[in-house]
């Protein structure tokens, strides 16, 4: 995906028993013979009793750690259930995304399919009744006991696909990701500074770094989307998390032109215009910026957890990571999400085995196996953190945000066009071509056009 280098409060569900049970597939695509999703007491969890099953799985877990983990899990699943053979098809994220619509509406449908949880993908497929409502399976397997509401909301839609983050569960993810603050410990020490514990301390650190002759924050925003990973965490210092969730999920009931949103945009504009983000952040590519940070340019880099291993390979113990300080609500809130969820198509031929497979690859034991293979598990994250290094910081930060704070949605989730709108708008804010009020108006127009027309 564009925002990630791998592929790799919120709406509280209040227990998956409260999720509305629907019957996906009754009016949708596929072969027209889809059965209603089972209730919890109708779910068959006796995989060994299903007879010989060939389970068709499509995923995009193609990178090193991802592929290693899923291959190990498949081997363990087949050993536990020798009657089930996994027929796995792997594709890149882009290829799988292009094939998903055809697969879901065709005759030869996979049993398990990774479906991007953005509106244009999972939301559209939910609206067309092409994905299975997982409520009954979730209750039968106890998924609400394993996953936090903040995480589950990223895979939840209303039955009509209009409301994101509330309603029914349509997928389950293995891994997590979070945007936070990387910093050079040596640079802080040289400047006589400590890692910030409040946003006011972040702002003071930026000023002190500039006064000390350092570039305060590294940003490469030529691609436009990286600024969303800076603005998202910053926004939480000004705007209540619940409001950001509404805006980021593209649900009605919020407004980009409020005083607090304008204040957040004004701070980003200030950073852009006073050089805190570098001399020309909009002219520097994302994949050129973080290597420059590892070479000593910048005291802070606000970005995603996926950058940690590559930067640590250069910086070693000098590289540190922290979740942003608590937001205006008093709790930590920052942009983040999950890996691509695993879903069950409505027309899947082996839904019981598919649900058992998804349960197995997202179990507590699976989380340990994912961590052992170098991935960041979405559950048990702090418990499974490495003993040292930047990944220890990252794991602990994700755990704190996802279990005690608010994992804010990527802002480009909001509408089908918001990635382009927000990317261009924030670039103009940073470059001084648009003031905060005008930028807020542009963002509101896109958001309102979508929500009022939903």
Write out pLDDT tens, residues 51-87: 999 999 999 988 777 888 999 999 999 999 999 999 9
Banded model confidence at residue 225, pLDDT cuts 50, 70, 90 = very high
Q: Encoding tokens for residue 299?
A: 């005291």
Backbone angles phi, psi at 168, to 5 degrees: -115, 145
CB 319 within 8 A of CB 311: yes
What's the token pair of residue 48? 């060994």
The yes-or-no answer to whether 20-175+339-380 and 177-336+407-453 have a common fold is yes
Q: What is the CATH number of domain 20-175+339-380?
A: 3.40.190.10
pLDDT band at 40 (very low <50, low <70, confident <90, very high): confident
The residues, any chain, with a CB within 8 Å of residue 268's CB and separated by 6 or more, are 227, 230, 231, 234, 426, 429, 430
Q: What pLDDT is stored for residue 2 in this prediction? A: 39
What does the pLDDT read at residue 454? Answer: 62
Rounded distance, CA 391 to CA 373, Å? Answer: 13
Q: Is 387 exposed, middle or buried (0-12, 13-18, 19+ CB in 10 A)?
A: exposed
pLDDT at 438 over 60: yes
| pLDDT-wise least confident of 32-36, 43-47, 103-107, 245-249 | 32-36
pLDDT for the residue 240 = 98
pLDDT of residue 375: 86
Q: How far apart are the C-alpha atoms of 393 and 75, rounded to whole Å?
A: 31
Superfamily (CATH H level) for 177-336+407-453: Periplasmic binding protein-like II (3.40.190.10)
Give dist(CA 215, CA 171) in Å, integer: 42
Please tell me whether the overall predicted TM-score, pTM, comes out greater than 0.75 for this model. Answer: yes
Domain range list for the chain: 20-175+339-380, 177-336+407-453
CA distance 228 to 244: 13
Mean pLDDT, residues 326-344 taken together: 96
**Which helix (H) or strand (E) is 151 found in, with range?**
helix 149-152
What pLDDT does 416 receive? Answer: 87
339, 322 in Cβ contact below 8 A?
A: no
């Amino acid at each position: 995906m564009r925002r990630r280098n791998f592929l790799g409060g919120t709406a509280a569900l209040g227990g998956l028993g409260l999720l509305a049970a629907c019957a996906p597939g009754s009016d949708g695509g596929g072969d027209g013979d889809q059965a209603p999703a089972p209730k919890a007491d109708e779910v068959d969890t006796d995989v060994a009793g299903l007879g010989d099953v060939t389970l068709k799985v499509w995923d995009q877990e193609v990178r090193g750690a991802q592929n290693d983990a899923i291959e190990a899990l498949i081997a363990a699943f087949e050993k536990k259930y020798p009657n089930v053979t996994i027929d796995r098809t792997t594709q890149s994220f882009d290829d799988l995304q292009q094939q998903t619509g055809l697969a879901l509406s065709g005759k030869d449908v996979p049993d398990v399919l990774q479906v991007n949880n953005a509106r244009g993908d999972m939301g559209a497929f939910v609206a067309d009744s092409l994905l299975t409502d997982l409520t009954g399976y979730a209750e039968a397997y106890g998924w609400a006991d394993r996953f936090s509401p903040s995480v589950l909301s990223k895979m939840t839609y209303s039955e009509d696909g209009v409301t994101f983050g509330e309603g029914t569960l349509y997928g389950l993810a293995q891994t997590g990701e979070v945007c936070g603050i990387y910093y050079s410990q040596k640079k802080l020490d040289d400047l006589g500074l400590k890692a910030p514990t409040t946003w006011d301390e972040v702002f003071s650190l930026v000023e002190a770094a500039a006064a000390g002759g350092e570039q305060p924050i590294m940003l490469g925003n030529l691609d436009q989307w990286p600024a969303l990973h800076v603005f998202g965490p910053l926004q939480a210092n000004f705007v209540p998390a619940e409001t950001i969730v509404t805006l980021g999920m593209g649900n009605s009931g919020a407004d980009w032109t409020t005083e607090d949103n304008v204040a957040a945009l004004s701070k980003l504009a200030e950073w852009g215009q006073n050089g805190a983000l570098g001399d020309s952040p909009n002219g520097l590519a994302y994949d050129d910026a973080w290597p420059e940070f590892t070479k000593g340019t910048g005291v802070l880099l606000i970005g995603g957890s996926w950058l940690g291993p590559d930067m640590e390979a250069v910086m070693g113990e000098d590289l540190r990571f922290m979740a942003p300080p608590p937001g205006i609500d008093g709790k930590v809130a920052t942009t983040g999400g999950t890996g691509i969820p695993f879903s069950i198509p409505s027309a899947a031929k082996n839904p019981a085995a598919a649900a058992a497979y998804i349960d197995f690859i997202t179990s507590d034991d699976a989380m340990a196996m994912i961590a052992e293979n170098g991935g960041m598990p979405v559950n048990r994250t702090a418990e499974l953190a490495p003993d040292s290094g930047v990944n220890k910081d990252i794991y602990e930060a994700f755990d704190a945000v996802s279990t005690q704070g608010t994992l804010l949605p990527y802002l480009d989730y909001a509408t089908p066009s918001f990635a382009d709108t927000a990317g261009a708008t924030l670039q103009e804010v940073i470059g001084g071509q648009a003031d905060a009020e005008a930028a807020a108006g542009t963002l509101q127009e896109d958001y309102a056009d979508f929500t009022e027309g939903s």
